[in-house]
Amino acid sequence: MQEKGTISIHTENIFPIIKKFLYSDNEIFLRELVSNAVDATQKIKRLATLGQYTGELGDTTVEVSFDKDKKTITISDRGLGMTAEEIKKYINQIAFSGATEFVEKFKDAKDANEIIGKFGLGFYSAFMVAHTVEINSLSYQEGAEPAKWTCDGSTTFEIAEGSRTERGTDIVLHINEESEEFLDKWKLQGILDKYCKFLPVTIKFGTKTESVEDGEDEEGKKKWKSVEVDNIINTTSPIWTKSPSDLKDEDYLSFYKELYPMSEDPLFWIHLNVDYPFNLTGVLYFPKVKNDFDFQKNKIKLFSRQVFITDEVKDIVPEFLMLLHGVIDSPDIPLNVSRSFLQADGNVKKINNYITKKVADKLAELYKKDRKVYEEKWNDIGLFVKYGMISEEKFAEKGKDFVLLKNTKGEFYTLPEYKEKVQAIQKDKNDQTIYLYATDVNKQDAFIQSANKKDYDVLVMDSPIDSHFIQHLEGKEEKTQLKRVDADVVEKLIQKDDAFANLLSEEQSTKVKEIFEKAIDNKSYSVEIEGLNPEELPVTVTMDEFMRRMKDMAATGGGMGFYGSLPDSYKVAINGNHGVIDKILKAENQEEQTKLAKQAFDLALLAQGLLTGKDLTAFVQRSVGMI
Ligand code: ADP
Ligand code: MG
């Protein structure tokens, strides 16, 4: 029996297309062929379970091997095999649903996944690396003859009698010249580790040496010897395929270590398991995320039926959940279509919502279960929760029950608790509750102390996400405004009716303003005389909340180019009621007045860490002179 034929696609040139357009991803040929071998193995096992196959299953290990001299890579399975008829049916009629369509569409395809999935070209990805491919197969069916199919990458093939004596299939790739890099142990090992680590059928790739115990020597010490053992690539039942009730914390932790060997233990995890209206399993871990946004390196891995597909999960999980680590496995995610289609895909949206909800539920549960533990973890969780609330309306809805605010005393409050706490004292004359915050508790210490003296509470908002979170809060919390504690002098941060009157006369105020403007001599500082508590500092330097936010936004690329280009502009508030101002007015001459004013101003700068370099040196010298 020997037969020649033409592969039934209606164009001559499919192989050059495959080669050219899939080249960048060509390593996936191995993923495709090994998953076919695994599929065939699972099929025969299912047939056996159903009683439709009654022979011996035998050892069903899939074996990958290579021969450097013959320049071949072979994938062997003991699956259900194929008859010559089946090879013709399943292999030859590639993309029969639309070869013409294929040729039209390949132009727009961005990667190999797209083409392979859409047109069922899994097997043909072999031609990305092989000039000739052989199939040697023996079907499980009674009386089946072994069959051998050969194709040299043109559109003609050859089918002849095969030589296989055991049920199953060998796929032999004769590697082309440009792809000889694949004829390498470490290269192949790397690809198998990447894509096949969790496949459900045992995969063997050659052998490796291992040390095993070999009795004891005369002194009773253990002896070791090296032995050759099968080099098994995969864990066939990774934890996400198991039931959570069968798993212990150690199992989750050791799986995490297996995925990300260099990482610290995660904080906690969520086991995902849903089969309707879509099918999805997985385990997502909350890593210890520091403020430095270094979370990108350990990505969520996406699988389809335990075959690794990608770690580019953008569009499949909500953006804020990209902070998480772990695996998602779903046969329902259309991996093979374009990004824009993905965004519109109903399943993807449902998956998105499901994961968001699961994560929110988990956080709510942790919060309810043990508030104290939750607070201890807040430094790590906080960034994530805030990011989620800002970016996902659905998450914000739930997050308001478990997001925490931390004050400078290290106390934690939920949103309602905090409102309750500060409402009475921090309400201004317009019925707005003012939340005060510090972005740097050391630098802003003088202001924090002034605020605390008035029994105001100050929140800590020192992570990069906080400037956005502040805006989110203002949008959500009614009649609430947030102000950085140094946005104004304490008397004015929260404007009350019973403010202190300025005891200076108008003439005196003008004089003081002149003295300070002369002493400061810098356009970035505008001097204002105010009636403040005599207990407060004589001079305070502040930057308006609105101005500062605009500048901060411009600095972090918020697009406010105009504000970004503005010079710093500060307000210098002179406390007209302070004794020092009186002293300055009464100083014996103009020179002395300027000197005292400069000194008071420098002290204000010093309190905020704004006094540096030459100015600091001059201040120290002047101070020494004054002693
Ligand atoms: P898919 O796996 O998506 O069906 P492929 O192009 O990878 O597409 O394979 C085409 C078909 O060829 C498979 O559906 C299967 O019927 C058959 N096939 C491929 N490899 C094997 C194998 N190792 N054993 C048995 N049948 C196979
Ligand atoms: Mg396949």
The arithmetic mean of pLDDT across residues 234-250, rounded, is 96
**DSSP per-residue codes, 348-382:** HHHHHHHHHHHHHHHHHHHHHH-HHHHHHTHHHHH
Spacing, Cα 241 to ligand 2 middle (Å): 21
pLDDT for the residue 278: 83
Q: Say if ligand 1 is within 6 A of residue 91 CB.
A: yes
The answer to whether the CB of 437 falls within 8 A of the CB of 485 is: yes
Q: Which residue lies with its CA nearest to atom 16 of ligand 1?
A: 90
Domains of the chain: residue spans and CATH:
2-205 (3.30.565.10), 239-375 (3.30.230.80), 404-493 (3.40.50.11260), 506-626 (1.20.120.790)
Residues 607-624 have pLDDT tens digits of 888 898 999 999 999 999
Atom index in ligand 1 nearest the CA of residue 125 equals: 6
The confidence score (pLDDT) of residue 497 equals: 76
> Is the CA virtual torsion 247, 248, 253, 258 positive or negative?
negative
pLDDT tens digit string along 443-500? 999 999 999 999 999 999 998 889 889 999 999 888 999 999 999 888 888 988 777 7
pLDDT of residue 113: 57
Q: What is the pLDDT of residues 159-200, one digit of tens each?
A: 999 999 999 999 999 999 999 999 999 999 999 999 999 999
Q: Is the CB of 95 under 6 A from ligand 1?
A: no
pLDDT at 109: 56
CA-closest residue to ligand 1 atom 3? 120
Is residue 112 within a helix (H) or strand (E), and if so which, with residue range? Answer: helix 112-119
Pocket of ligand 1 contains residue 17 by CB under 6 Å: no
Nearest listed ligand to the Cα of residue 169:
1
Calpha distance 134→126 (Å, rounded): 10
pLDDT, residue 10, reads: 46
Average pLDDT over every residue of 587-594: 92
* Region 63-69 average pLDDT: 97
Q: Are 318 and 310 in contact (CB under 8 A)?
A: no
- CA 403, CA 147: separation in Å to the nearest integer? 65
Kindly indicate the confidence band of residue 96, based on its pLDDT and cuts at 50, 70 and 90.
very low
Q: Ligand 1 centre from 64 Cα, in Å?
A: 17
Q: How far apart are CA 626 and CA 599, in angstroms?
A: 10
pLDDT greater than 60 at residue 112:
no
Q: Which ligand is nearest to the CA of 307?
A: 2
Q: Binning pLDDT at 50, 70 and 90, where does residue 273 land?
A: very high
Distance of CA 432 to the CA centre of its chain: 37
Mean pLDDT computed over every residue of the chain: 86
Ligand 1 atom index nearest CA of 123: 6
Residue 18's pLDDT is 60
* DSSP SS3 for 55: coil
Dump pLDDT digits (tens) for 331-371.
877 655 445 555 566 777 888 889 999 999 999 999 999 99
pLDDT > 70 in the chain, percent: 86
Q: Is 79 in the pocket of ligand 1 (CB under 6 A)?
A: yes
Q: Please tell me the predicted confidence (pLDDT) of residue 287.
A: 86
pLDDT at 340: 54
Residue 33 alpha carbon to ligand 1 centre in Å? 8
Which of 90-94, 274-278, 445-449, 567-571 is predicted with the least confidence, judged by mean pLDDT? 90-94
Using the mean position of ligand 1's atoms as its centre, give its distance from the Cα of residue 409 in Å: 64
